[in-house]
């Protein structure tokens, strides 16, 4: 018999967060989350997303044993402002039992029907800066700290229950490009800087990064506004994500470009890969997890391209050449050997064009799945 329990208290939510540790215990490709960070994201008094979203956390039990989990989410900005009347599901993990998946997703559907929504879609988080999509290709590739990993049978469960693919995302892991591959960018870089009188900033400390954070999020809102189901980042969310990620970034991998009037017109954030450190720490900062993460932050040979934003009025003026030339110099100085393109919406051709001079074939695909209610 399958029973479903809602999790509310910190102790209960800790059980919710730790559930996937059991089904991926011996999987070499799964990267555990930081337990404390997950709990912070679920705390309705801390995460500002709950100003316009509601979420419920459920676990499934069979014969008294935990066998699955799911978060049911309604993003009211998406529903009311974008008229996307859907209920989201995220943080979905389950044993290979279609009946368990059915029972969990029925709880999500209940929330959607309660609010007269049109469909259910997932896996996806609360907002655009959360994890998104279930793997449909690349199950033998290492996961990252900003993506979910899943077994192949998840996809079969979705299909059997009437879900169809909605949005697709591509990812890639490739060898750090050589000077010949980057040559078009290195050649164009000084010409573009001079033509537009650009100011390029390569911060060396976190203190030098901080003045760019709020303008960066404003630019993020502007540059991604036209993408499907994009919900802008609020002022409180800016602070939340700043606090969440600032300790994980290496300033050498952040780039900012201003126009001649001092307006931020482009930015890029690369993050050091922390996958091995997170696996070794098993989701905990104590007693030695924080030391592993600190070491990886400074000594990794792999980086993740996390966010790139260019002002819509500047998207065809060659700013990506400046960004890539800067990264070539920074990566070379820091001994970077591998680069990872994190999930890029398949329709976002402007981002895909960044890699046109590189040998970066798609190595992973993931998708969200949708069903009418």
Segment 327-353, tens digit of pLDDT? 999 999 999 999 999 999 898 777 787
What pLDDT score does 228 carry?
59
Strand pairing class (86-94; 119-122): parallel
Secondary element (H or E) of residue 118: none
DSSP H helices in 134-274 = 153-160, 179-196, 206-209, 213-224, 235-245
CB atoms within 10 A of CB 366: 24
Per mean pLDDT, which of 128-132, 199-203, 222-226 is the most reliable? Answer: 199-203
Q: Which of 216, 219, 136, 122 lies closest to 171, judged by CA?
A: 136
The 10s digit of each residue's pLDDT in 236-251 is 887 887 777 777 788 8
**pTM for this predicted structure:** 0.92
Confidence of residue 229 (pLDDT cuts 50, 70, 90): low
Domains identified in the chain and CATH numbers: 2-170 (3.40.630.30), 174-363 (3.40.630.30)
CB atoms within 10 A of CB 349: 9
Round to whole Å and give the CA distance between 309 and 276.
Answer: 28
* 164 beta partners: 370
Strand pairing class (302-310; 338-345): parallel
Q: How far from the centroid of its chain's Cα atoms is residue 251's Cα?
A: 19
Round to whole Å and give the CA distance between 348 and 346.
Answer: 6
Higher-confidence position of 312 and 133: 133
The 10s digit of each residue's pLDDT in 272-295 is 999 998 998 888 877 777 888 888
The 10s digit of each residue's pLDDT in 71-125 is 999 999 999 988 999 999 999 999 999 999 999 999 999 999 999 999 999 999 9
Measured at the alpha carbon of residue 293, what is the angle toward residues 289 and 297, in degrees to the nearest 5? 170
DSSP H helices in 43-125 = 76-81, 98-114
Confidence of residue 232 (pLDDT cuts 50, 70, 90): confident
The 10s digit of each residue's pLDDT in 298-316 is 889 999 998 888 898 998 8
């Amino acid at each position: 018999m399958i029973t479903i329990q809602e999790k509310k208290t910190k102790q209960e939510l800790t059980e919710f967060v730790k559930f996937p540790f059991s089904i991926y215990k011996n999987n070499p490709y799964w990267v555990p989350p930081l337990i404390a960070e997950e709990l912070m994201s679920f705390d309705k008094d801390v995460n500002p997303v709950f100003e316009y979203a509601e979420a419920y956390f459920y676990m499934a039990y069979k014969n008294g044993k935990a066998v699955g989990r799911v978060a049911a989410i309604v993003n009211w900005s998406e529903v009311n402002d974008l008229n996307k009347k859907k209920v989201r599901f995220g943080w979905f993990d389950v044993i290979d039992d279609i009946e368990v998946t059915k029972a969990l997703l029925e709880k999500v559907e209940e929330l959607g029907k309660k609010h007269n929504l049109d469909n259910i879609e997932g896996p996806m988080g609360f907002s655009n800066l959360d994890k998104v999509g279930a793997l449909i290709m690349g199950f033998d590739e290492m996961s990252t700290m900003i993506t979910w990993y899943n077994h192949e049978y998840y996809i079969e469960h979705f299909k059997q229950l009437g879900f169809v693919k909605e949005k697709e995302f591509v990812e890639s892991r490739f060898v750090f490009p050589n000077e010949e591959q980057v040559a078009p960018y290195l050649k164009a870089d000084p010409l573009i800087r001079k033509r537009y009188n650009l100011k390029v900033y390569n911060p060396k400390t976190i203190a030098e990064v901080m003045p760019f954070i709020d303008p960066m999020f404003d630019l993020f809102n502007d540059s991604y506004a036209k993408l499907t189901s994009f919900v802008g980042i609020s002022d409180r969310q800016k602070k939340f994500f700043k606090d969440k990620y600032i300790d994980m970034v290496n300033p050498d991998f952040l780039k900012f470009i201003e126009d001649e009037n001092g307006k931020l017109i482009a930015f890029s954030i690369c993050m050091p890969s922390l996958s091995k450190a997170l696996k070794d720490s098993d989701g905990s900062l104590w007693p030695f997890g924080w030391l592993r993460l600190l070491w990886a932050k400074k000594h990794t040979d792999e980086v993740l391209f996390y966010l790139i934003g260019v002002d819509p009025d500047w998207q065809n003026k060659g700013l990506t050449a400046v960004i890539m030339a800067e990264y070539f110099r920074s990566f070379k100085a820091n001994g970077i050997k591998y680069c990872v393109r994190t999930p890029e919406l398949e329709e976002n051709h402007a981002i895909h064009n960044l890699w046109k001079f590189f040998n970066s074939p798609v190595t992973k695909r993931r998708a969200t799945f949708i069903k009418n209610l």
